[in-house]
Structure 1
């Protein structure tokens, strides 16, 4: 493949090496691309391009002026670029500069890039590798991913089973945004913050465990992960922010501690599968349409999810929210299946139900308390039998696959 800017030698004959009084907005034709740019204070900012070549090599100078920045949205949505090479002269890359480039696989960053704005390379599902000049003091390549200051994951590039570098302290905005092939993510205990929309649009992600080290979740950080089934939030999370799990339509298991004090607007919007969720009394505020709501295309407005239930305690914010939204509210936790009250459903519970059923069948009287009998009656037919035991085992198996 020809180099994109092999015409530079010829261009040097035409243009002076001294930065001249160039027009504020200009275009230059190079092999495969027509680059548009602006000149200000004798520095060039690339603003976009036209063309269909696959390799984009940003020039280090144009018309004798150094190319020092790539503007916001400059190459957003470009469907042709596969390889992007950014020279040492570039100091800044604007927001969404290369966002939503579906075929971009490789990025090379020069030694002087000192600022990369939010979402600069997000929603690039084919991105596999990022190379950073080793002399760059701000950005680096760790395990093929782009890091800022050695501990902030700016952009993930890798395979579908993501294992995050063990010294990562923060996951920045949009780090995994639109990585539709990601099926699993392992977060180390070093992570403290997960920023806005960090995992939004990870369409194949099925489960996530947020470690106890994480103290802050950003807005919409798991939004539109529509295969996400199971979420376990660590004990240091105190707020579930707005849009956090918006449109996670497969979500059926959510676990969080009594340390959570607020649930933001639309946090669980369109999450029908978590009907029956228990919201602890520690939660003092629940935002607009936070849970039990979905969008009705006929009325162009939010509506209650049919049959949705919220569990909680009397006098709690959960009860108040359910009442205001006209959502069914039940007092206390759902103990169904948890016969031994250890907070989980497993084979021990199923075995206990089978043993109780054997006693009832042979002697007509069992050993369960009233509460245990209620928990054992999975199908609600007011008796404890092998059908309940089988159902509890099936539920245990289902949870294990999440």
Structure 2
């Protein structure tokens, strides 16, 4: 009698499973509907809802003027995804709300008719090629919050070309993002620049000497790639990181002069692809062969102390006394290269400090020219 109980129990268990299955089935469509609610369209835009906000993922290619809403389904729009507007060839204008913090790579690449973009006040990052080949985009009001700028984010835009014409050392919020139009053999990066951006000096074949002020803490990926004539790098201190392949193909790089000690230099994070830099002779704790213009105290920046030294020397010369400058200091004080240090040079130094302190990126070349 006991032998038939186990097969019977198995059959009954199977029947119970079959009977109970319809009770589970209605839950599956409900789950799918919940997933579907996370994506949708508003106007010409496609979006996806995430836990902390909405992301714009696509725009209709026929769209001409687009206003991105601040909120979708009660959630703030925080991001424009990569490729979202790419090849929207009819797009002429887009207004981006202040809720957006990130614009992904290729987001507006090749929007050839795009002329007007309202960038959000809280924008923190733009990806690689973000506005690349937006040839008619001439004006951009870039917020001070923008600190991460991808490779070629503004390449082939009218805005970048205008900036290059005004100053070949193009800065955005203290990041030097482009110096590819520099034609000189020696370049002095202005005090206040904190970062040399991705491929900033790419293929500047004439460049032989680069001088970095103490304010520079980071050199990004490929910053000096293919600067085949670069021989000397001067680092005034505080450098913390050198990105991947920053000095790749700098085949003539032979010397690095730095006020940093050997221990301090050893703490600099140097990523792969910088073998040519690491093979160069490092001159630690060095008194640099040439001072940066106006940096008479060799601090790596131009400030009121330098103004004092220049004024003192000019005053002492005026009454027949020795200026007290070393030859290197006298050369650094001769801003206009006239061969004599006078009130004109003092004026240039004061103007340089005032403009850069006010957040107006200014180089000596701009002033003296």
Would you tell me which structure has more helix in proportion to its own residues?
A: 2
- The alignment's TM-score, normalised by the length of structure 2, stands at 0.47
- The alignment's TM-score, normalised by the length of structure 1, stands at 0.44
Larger Rg: 1 or 2? 2
Would you tell me which structure has more strand in proportion to its own residues?
A: 1
